[in-house]
Amino acid sequence: MTDKAYALFEERQRARGIDLNVVREKLKSLAIETPSWGFGDSGTRFKVFRNGKAARTPYEKLEDAAEVHRLTGCCPSVAIHIPWDKTDSYGKLRSHAESLGVKIGAVNPNLFQEEEYMLGSVTNANAAIRRKATDHLLECVAIAKETGSKDLSLWFPDGTNYPGQGDIRARKVWMLEALKEVYAALTPDMRVLIEYKFFEPAFYHTDLVDWGMAFQLANKLGPQAQVLVDTGHHAPCTNVEHIVAYLLDECRLGGFHFNSRKYADDDLIVGAINPYELFLIFYQILDASADADPAVRGTVDAIAYMIDQSHNIEPKIEAAIRSVLNVQTQYAKALLIDREEVRAAQSEQDVLGAEDAVRKAFEFDVSPLLESIREEMGLPLDPMRAYKEGSYAERVGRRG
Amino acid sequence: MTDKAYALFEERQRARGIDLNVVREKLKSLAIETPSWGFGDSGTRFKVFRNGKAARTPYEKLEDAAEVHRLTGCCPSVAIHIPWDKTDSYGKLRSHAESLGVKIGAVNPNLFQEEEYMLGSVTNANAAIRRKATDHLLECVAIAKETGSKDLSLWFPDGTNYPGQGDIRARKVWMLEALKEVYAALTPDMRVLIEYKFFEPAFYHTDLVDWGMAFQLANKLGPQAQVLVDTGHHAPCTNVEHIVAYLLDECRLGGFHFNSRKYADDDLIVGAINPYELFLIFYQILDASADADPAVRGTVDAIAYMIDQSHNIEPKIEAAIRSVLNVQTQYAKALLIDREEVRAAQSEQDVLGAEDAVRKAFEFDVSPLLESIREEMGLPLDPMRAYKEGSYAERVGRRG
Amino acid sequence: MTDKAYALFEERQRARGIDLNVVREKLKSLAIETPSWGFGDSGTRFKVFRNGKAARTPYEKLEDAAEVHRLTGCCPSVAIHIPWDKTDSYGKLRSHAESLGVKIGAVNPNLFQEEEYMLGSVTNANAAIRRKATDHLLECVAIAKETGSKDLSLWFPDGTNYPGQGDIRARKVWMLEALKEVYAALTPDMRVLIEYKFFEPAFYHTDLVDWGMAFQLANKLGPQAQVLVDTGHHAPCTNVEHIVAYLLDECRLGGFHFNSRKYADDDLIVGAINPYELFLIFYQILDASADADPAVRGTVDAIAYMIDQSHNIEPKIEAAIRSVLNVQTQYAKALLIDREEVRAAQSEQDVLGAEDAVRKAFEFDVSPLLESIREEMGLPLDPMRAYKEGSYAERVGRRG
Amino acid sequence: MTDKAYALFEERQRARGIDLNVVREKLKSLAIETPSWGFGDSGTRFKVFRNGKAARTPYEKLEDAAEVHRLTGCCPSVAIHIPWDKTDSYGKLRSHAESLGVKIGAVNPNLFQEEEYMLGSVTNANAAIRRKATDHLLECVAIAKETGSKDLSLWFPDGTNYPGQGDIRARKVWMLEALKEVYAALTPDMRVLIEYKFFEPAFYHTDLVDWGMAFQLANKLGPQAQVLVDTGHHAPCTNVEHIVAYLLDECRLGGFHFNSRKYADDDLIVGAINPYELFLIFYQILDASADADPAVRGTVDAIAYMIDQSHNIEPKIEAAIRSVLNVQTQYAKALLIDREEVRAAQSEQDVLGAEDAVRKAFEFDVSPLLESIREEMGLPLDPMRAYKEGSYAERVGRRG
């Protein structure tokens, strides 16, 4: 059925004037970074459920990530978390990754798991704790040099729980001071990706609460500083794709942490709650990729697509595969938008025509396209089934 | 200064026609239940900070709670959590409480900390797990009989993370089945207080998501089932005092879990984020306490005021004292509303007059009143300072 | 291409065990009511834009609605609004509708456009205004008898803007009193559908603020009172499909007002902002339609699907067609859910399997199916294009 | 009682080390601008209620505003809206204002009430409409020169209702182009204050959706461009005082549009829904007013405090008086914060101590202070009562 389905798909898209060669190339080069911590156990404040099947060591996590890449063909790198992935030799870790066919991606410092950070890390009122936090960031830059990582993903848990608890403007200054040191330690090919978050673990004010604060911080640091959009880190009802478009236009979007939310930072599988939003994010990205300004196009090309989820109840590897498939699916759909049609309707002020030109791409079934590409790339047509029926799943089943 | 201040306060309120004897009596009889778990360490999903000063055993927690009662005079009972407060003899625990001058209040079952509950407790698709969960509830009824507790506070973490994951309507039936068993086990002087929550730890659907579902469940069970309002468990922007008024009018409000929120279920100190909301809740309660219907008035009299917070960064005992003071303060202010003035403005359709009649009570400084009452009751005028300067704080400081 | 596409679609669905005959029958019998006011000009508080093309009289509105039915085949009835559709002879209006091939659907009273209603209609503190409002409701019952309408859709703008402004519990009593009178006037084949709304035009408290209050009111009135779910009338982040499932299980869901929202009651075209939510609503409905309890199944059969939108910037008839197509599309997709597969995964506690069983139906392209059905029904394959190219659009273009 | 009350107040504050001379001076110099449109009828999309008592002409509006200033002593200027306050001679309007003891404040262009603006004003895809909109802005700059106004308050209704409807990045460019023209027309002592809004009247995307976009636009324009914070224009749960602190630290906060919200842009009386938030905004402002950096202090001094509300159901003049009193009250409370105490607790990491140092200032009753100042300034002690009992209210009562 696959061939027939693809033939029909091709016929239909060609009739619309879509160049499937371009679409296929873009899809084949889509790279989605998986996070090492996505393969370990995680939970809510109420409970971390453990069935003993999740990866425990950095080495095991890389193996799981490599399996996801082997099956999907689009996860060539793995983000690490320090100290969760701390090891005595990052060279060895890097070699291990490479031997598995993946490389080490973004390095993620951790500024929330030591007692000293209770009232803040780089924005702590205590200078010694700020020093310690900044040193950890610098340590992560050093690790990135060893692992060959180009991106440092910075998420700060810093904030306060009560009015008056902290000096909001002093903390702003301290944040900049710490980041300036980190920025100075980068090599010219490295970037800091600055993440913001609406709330949690701080419940009154969060030092980097929104894209605007992350953006201004990046502006102050320099061209190697960019904003990282975590799709779950916004106020209710926020139009995320608008922020994406804005940051691209300012050449300040560095990457994504993909996940789904319905309420807060729920960290569910990306594309599982509101797939249309994911599609619309890609629509903005693809729109910017055709911009007249090469700087905007270059920003699009350098976007780091990363998954960052908390698999509380899901088997970890399947959850990663599902996430990757969902991203691929929505990216593929966005590639089917007829940009000319959209632009024409927009300039004719044809509201419903423009809406239709975008939405109808979402309504196509792209599975024949994805299967055809997998076939071409020598990948299993159904990566999820291949995983479940494969020997790796069996090995994981024997863990614990 | 205190005497002068109270004299002036009295003069002013009498001029408004407020009967301070009634106000004082109501304030003296205000009882706020503290939770045993509020004296232990708690945290977010990122980290539980521990400085070794927090109470560790049920016995220590009762001692801390008793200290709060000794200082504030209005916390005569302590809620317990099973199994966190599990002990070999609940009779002994009860005696310990009584020897400290407090009694054991509501019993709170825990259905979220065992591996089996990953996909639900009383609404789990697996009948054996539902059985286990229901048995735990029945165990808590039995414990309540031993501790002399009259209320069972039921909060269910049950829900799903993804569309399709669970059969929403089957889970609704299972919930009712479990609760019917529990209800049947109550003695006639006991109540089940049914709590609802907007989300967390479930992120797609929560079986008891709002007051409406808890209310209908209570209706189906019978008159000993009531709704428990946790002030942090609502959708953004929800008018909580409206729900309070509604439930009182239906004689179905059983109690409160007090805390503050700005974003989600932040579990901060009650009254710290939006004190006016707490005042308005008490305004509705006091309004209902003057209802023509004795059933409504009786419902008001039976309200269980309980604190339920997560003190992530605060010293626990001070946090409890602050919470109690905040509740007292807003209750006192609400007692100063001139109900006649409000009613008159309401019937004259005087929008700004009615608003003013309520708000102006909020603007009074009630500290002279509270201090005068503390003096009369033989309590320290400033419970927080008394704690900090007292020997108990010193003892706690030596913990760990 | 259509035939080939349908053949492939059929092959694929049959391979999954989907009975397309059932699917086709259900789709052919889907009836969506359009609102007369959706064909007139409407706007925001800032501006009502008018280009003179929108229908002005009840007669013209019916003609526009009939055109939508002629093109889509699934809009056999039209809701009316009193007094917007006030006419000297409802018998004449009914005949006009029938001559156009449609009938008059729900009657919608209007309690927000007269000066007296500034501080409330049926919950106004002034008894004379309550009387006037109730009389208007009774007038609408009488009109419904003349037009042959079976449903009275009740939305109340009633609420307050400030704490203290109104007596929340007294207003609750007045609401019930008014509704009891209305209920008593119904013939046995009529229903009142009670709508709730989170806020607007009242900004502090809304008398019927959520499904729970509408539900309890319906319970008090009797079996002919049901809840009307407007998809835009919820707090941010609310799980609407959960409410739908709940109400169906209680046999109290009477109908929908369909529209889309991103922020508040935005009243955009249904399915345009989050199509997956619309699909998930139909998933719950179809799940309930297979319930063991005939009362639940009967409730599903009696659901009134109605559109209620505010077309501020869209051409009205095209907006209606787009809305109808979006509803059809998501309904068709939901019909492709393999219920057995979902149930099996749910009972095996296979979280990702169950999620997949639901989501994958959403990912099918149902356009071949919809076209095939339109062909069978003698309808234009593409109703939007047929409208744009047809003579009716031309006539509308000459309006104004 | 007033003298005694003030004596006690003074004693208490002096004991805390508060310099009441400073507090009194700051309070006496507080200036709050009222909006001309706040004295006219306004409403929701459902209805504008009119009782004929509201001001109709710009001249009448200035008279009402002058009455509010006469009674409160702190409303020396009045914002105008063009074309609502269009007149044949702005010199005459200015003289009229001056003869009444007030001056004309910010000029507010209106880009939402002409048919052409249906799909945007300065971001409309049609260049001619952008031209028209920009010309209107330039016209307002010219008017400001005639009225002696220093601030142009810019709020744009621009945005889209559907994905795809507009080219988000092109619109961003058009916005900047228009603003550059306006900026170039300013004299060196003028400012543009750029307002942002979360949503409405656009329901999918709003071109200037948050402080970050307004801020970056101001950055691009130059030092005479600042951000205007409307307290009702944020996503649910947003920490507004954090944004205020941030903008002050960047010297980019130009002013406020004060009002209250519970749900969306509800435009209720400021301080009526969450007075603590208003207090916390002033806490941040006063904190910045003591900054070491003179540029930050200068920014604080130049803040334009403006009221912008929609009085749908309230008598207009009383609503304005209530608004002013609420602002004064919270400002007065914030002036009682002991900054040293807060700083000390912050640096000792005393969470509850710092919270207490801020909150306790909120709990003081500042009415003796405000009355004492009014007495000194020769104002009525109770401006609301003075209005109700005065001849101006009688005159207004005869309107219509």
Residues of D in contact with B370 (CB under 8 A): none
D163 touches chain A (CB under 8 A): yes
Cβ–Cβ under 8 Å, residues D212 and B237: no
Q: Which residue of C has its CA nearest to A264?
A: C237
Angle CA(D204)–CA(D206)–CA(D211) in degrees, nearest 5?
135
Query: Is D352–B4 a contact, with Cβ atoms under 8 angstroms apart?
Result: no
| pLDDT score at A51 | 83
Residues of C in contact with B168 (CB under 8 A): 242, 245-246, 284
What is the spatial distance between Cα D124 and Cα D122, in angstroms, rounded to a whole number?
6
Chains contacting chain D through 3 or more C-beta pairs under 8 A: A, B, C
Phi, psi of D17 (to 5 degrees): 85, 15
Query: Is D272–B355 a contact, with Cβ atoms under 8 angstroms apart?
Result: yes
| Entry pTM | 0.98
Q: Which among C84, C203, C268 is the top mutation candidate for probing chain D, defined by the most D β-carbons within 10 Å of its own β-carbon?
A: C203
Residues of C in contact with B351 (CB under 8 A): 119, 161-162, 165
Cβ–Cβ under 8 Å, residues B233 and B226: no
Query: Is B356–D322 a contact, with Cβ atoms under 8 angstroms apart?
Result: yes
Q: Which residue of B has its CA nearest to A116?
A: B49
Which residues lie across from D33 on neighbouring strands? D306
Query: Is A272–C359 a contact, with Cβ atoms under 8 angstroms apart?
Result: yes
| pLDDT score at D1 | 57
| pLDDT score at C400 | 78
Prediction ipTM score: 0.98
Cβ–Cβ under 8 Å, residues C165 and C124: no
A213 touches chain B (CB under 8 A): no
3-state secondary structure B215-237: HHHHHHHCCCEEEEEECCCCCCC
Question: Which segments of chain B does DSSP mark as H helices, in order?
Answer: 2-16, 20-28, 58-72, 90-99, 127-147, 168-185, 211-221, 240-249, 275-288, 294-301, 316-335, 339-347, 351-363, 367-376, 383-389, 391-397
Digit-by-digit pLDDT tens for chain A (400 residues) are 579 999 999 999 999 999 999 999 999 999 999 999 999 999 999 999 998 899 999 999 999 999 999 999 999 999 999 999 999 999 999 999 999 999 999 999 999 999 999 999 999 999 999 999 999 999 999 999 999 999 999 999 999 999 999 999 999 999 999 999 999 999 999 999 999 999 999 999 999 999 999 999 999 999 999 999 999 999 999 999 999 999 999 999 999 999 999 999 999 999 999 999 999 999 999 999 999 999 999 999 999 999 999 999 999 999 999 999 999 999 999 999 999 999 999 999 999 999 999 999 999 999 999 999 999 999 999 999 999 999 999 999 999 7
How close is the nearest chain C Cα to the Cα of B194, in Å?
15
Q: Which of A162, A263, A267 is facing B264, going by the closest CB pair?
A: A263
Percent of chain D exceeding pLDDT 70 equals: 100
- Binning chain C into helix, strand and coil, the percentages to the nearest 5 are 50, 10, 35
How close is the nearest chain B Cα to the Cα of D10, in Å?
12
Q: C158: closest CA among C194, C109, C124, C134?
A: C124
Query: Is D268–C203 a contact, with Cβ atoms under 8 angstroms apart?
Result: yes
Which residues lie across from D229 on neighbouring strands? D256
B125 touches chain A (CB under 8 A): no
How close is the nearest chain C Cα to the Cα of B216, in Å?
8
What would the pLDDT profile of D171-230 be if each residue is shown by its tens digit? Answer: 999 999 999 999 999 999 999 999 999 999 999 999 999 999 999 999 999 999 999 999
Q: Which parts of chain C register pLDDT below 70?
A: 1
How close is the nearest chain B Cα to the Cα of C242, in Å?
7
Q: A380: closest CA among A126, A4, A67?
A: A67
What would the pLDDT profile of A215-259 be if each residue is shown by its tens digit? Answer: 999 999 999 999 999 999 999 999 999 999 999 999 999 999 999
Residues of C in contact with D162 (CB under 8 A): 268-269, 272
Q: Which of D157, D264, D272 is facing C264, going by the closest CB pair?
A: D264
Residues of D in contact with C45 (CB under 8 A): 42-45, 201, 310
Query: Is A168–D346 a contact, with Cβ atoms under 8 angstroms apart?
Result: no
Tell me the domain boundaries of chain D: 32-334
What is the spatial distance between Cα D163 and Cα C110, in angstroms, rounded to a whole number?
32
D65 touches chain C (CB under 8 A): no
| pLDDT score at C2 | 76
Query: Is C351–A314 a contact, with Cβ atoms under 8 angstroms apart?
Result: yes
What would the pLDDT profile of C24-59 be if each residue is shown by its tens digit? Answer: 999 999 999 999 999 999 999 999 999 889 999 999
What is the spatial distance between Cα C338 and Cα C343, in angstroms, rounded to a whole number?
9
Burial class (CB in 10 A: 0-12, 13-18, 19+), A302: middle
Q: What is the fold of A32-334?
A: TIM Barrel (3.20.20)
- Rg of chain A on CA atoms, in Å: 21
Query: Is B356–D276 a contact, with Cβ atoms under 8 angstroms apart?
Result: no
Digit-by-digit pLDDT tens for chain D (400 residues) are 578 999 999 999 999 999 999 999 999 999 999 999 999 999 999 999 998 899 999 999 999 999 999 999 999 999 999 999 999 999 999 999 999 999 999 999 999 999 999 999 999 999 999 999 999 999 999 999 999 999 999 999 999 999 999 999 999 999 999 999 999 999 999 999 999 999 999 999 999 999 999 999 999 999 999 999 999 999 999 999 999 999 999 999 999 999 999 999 999 999 999 999 999 999 999 999 999 999 999 999 999 999 999 999 999 999 999 999 999 999 999 999 999 999 999 999 999 999 999 999 999 999 999 999 999 999 999 999 999 999 999 999 999 7
- Rg of chain C on CA atoms, in Å: 21
Look up residue D40 and give its DSSP letter.
S
Q: D234: closest CA among C263, C195, C301, C14?
A: C263
Position C400: which residue type?
A: G
Query: Is A46–B117 a contact, with Cβ atoms under 8 angstroms apart?
Result: no
CA distances from D7 to A248, D3, D18, D368 (A): 60, 6, 14, 9
Q: Which residue of C has its CA nearest to D260?
A: C203
Packed helices A127-147 and A168-185: angle between N→C axes, nearest 10 degrees: 30
C313 touches chain A (CB under 8 A): yes
Query: Is C44–D201 a contact, with Cβ atoms under 8 angstroms apart?
Result: yes
Q: Which residue of A has its CA nearest to D215?
A: A212
Cβ–Cβ under 8 Å, residues A66 and A77: no
A50 touches chain B (CB under 8 A): yes
Digit-by-digit pLDDT tens for chain B (400 residues) are 578 999 999 999 999 999 999 999 999 999 999 999 999 999 999 999 998 899 999 999 999 999 999 999 999 999 999 999 999 999 999 999 999 999 999 999 999 999 999 999 999 999 999 999 999 999 999 999 999 999 999 999 999 999 999 999 999 999 999 999 999 999 999 999 999 999 999 999 999 999 999 999 999 999 999 999 999 999 999 999 999 999 999 999 999 999 999 999 999 999 999 999 999 999 999 999 999 999 999 999 999 999 999 999 999 999 999 999 999 999 999 999 999 999 999 999 999 999 999 999 999 999 999 999 999 999 999 999 999 999 999 999 999 7
Position B234: which residue type?
A: H
Q: Which of C235, C245, C343 is facing B238, going by the closest CB pair?
A: C235
Query: Is B313–A46 a contact, with Cβ atoms under 8 angstroms apart?
Result: no
Q: Which of D11, D263, D276 is facing B274, going by the closest CB pair?
A: D276
For chains A and C, what is the number of CB pairs under 8 angstroms?
73
| Beta-strand pair B205-206/A103-109 | unpaired
Residues of B in contact with A117 (CB under 8 A): 47
Query: Is D236–A237 a contact, with Cβ atoms under 8 angstroms apart?
Result: yes
Q: How many CA atoms lie within 13 A of A168 on its CB side?
A: 32
A4 touches chain B (CB under 8 A): no
B393 touches chain D (CB under 8 A): no
A396 touches chain D (CB under 8 A): no
A263 touches chain C (CB under 8 A): yes
How close is the nearest chain D Cα to the Cα of C51, in Å?
8
Chains contacting chain A through 3 or more C-beta pairs under 8 A: B, C, D
B201 touches chain A (CB under 8 A): yes
